[in-house]
Amino acid sequence: MNTTVLIHRFNVEEYHRLIENNILHEDDRVELIEGRIIDMTPIGSKHAACVSRLNEILSEKLQKRAIINIQNPICLTAYTEPEPDIAIIKRRPDFYAEQLPQPEDVLLIIEVSDSSLDYDCETKIPLYAKSNIPEVWLVNLIENNVAIYSGPSSEGYNVITKHHHNQILSPKSFHDITLTVSEIFGLPS
């Protein structure tokens, strides 16, 4: 006898009801990826420092031209609500109080990776491409480089460039803003 095992996929509404009904808690380190509730890897001190450093640098350089979301959810599809380390989103007066940011609201996503490197590369970044997120930066804490993904398509990102040391980076949505890889890693120039 051949039986098929069915797996229940949670949609975003069901996922939020799990939180509202205290089955999941806002402090739980989970995210909804393609209908599955995924445990996120713990954040180490190097990872936390890099996210904090980027938040400070980008806050100073953007001067309220966009909203910087730190480890907050964005709704990509009815079944996917990741929590990227940093999402630069379009400004809105309500700061997205009525609805989470959607793909068209996202200008740049930055994922800081060490223990989550494979997951970010193989799962999250392809989902960002399918959702037409224009640009993703992957800050690789293991190799001390930044990979920039642009040119999204349903097949993935068409352009991937790696940057090291004192190379200058500039977000596509903010050409007038520059920072170096060394700044991101807190290294001397």
**Amino acid identity of 51?**
V
Percent of the chain with pLDDT over 70: 99
Kindly state whether residue 14 falls inside one of the protein's structural domains. no
The CATH code of the domain that includes 93 is 3.90.1570.10
pLDDT of residue 1 exceeding 70, the answer is no
- Angle (nearest 5°) at CA 106 between 64 and 59: 25
Q: How confident is the model at residue 61 (pLDDT cuts 50, 70, 90)?
A: very high
CA–CA separation, 61 vs 138, rounded Å?
19
Written as one letter, the residue type at 57 is I
Look up the pTM and report it. 0.94
Q: What is the pLDDT of residues 140-184, one digit of tens each?
A: 999 999 999 999 999 999 999 999 999 999 999 999 999 999 999
What pLDDT score does 3 carry?
Answer: 74
Q: Which of 61, 12, 4 is CA-nearest to residue 33? A: 12
In a domain, 130, yes or no: yes
Residue 37: is its pLDDT beyond 70? yes
Q: Is residue 111 part of a domain?
A: yes
Residue 28 lies in a domain: no
What is the domain count for the chain? 1
Residue-range definition of the domain harbouring residue 74: 41-185
Give a yes or no: residue 1 inside a domain: no
Let me know if residue 147 belongs to a domain. yes
pLDDT one-digit tens code per residue, 96-141: 999 999 999 999 999 999 999 999 999 999 999 999 999 999 999 9
CA distance 79 to 14: 10
Q: What burial class does residue 53 get, using C-beta atoms within 10 Å of its C-beta: 0-12 exposed, 13-18 middle, 19+ buried?
A: middle
Residue 70 belongs to some domain of the structure: yes
* 18 located within any domain: no
Q: CA 90 to CA 78: how far, in whole Å?
A: 21
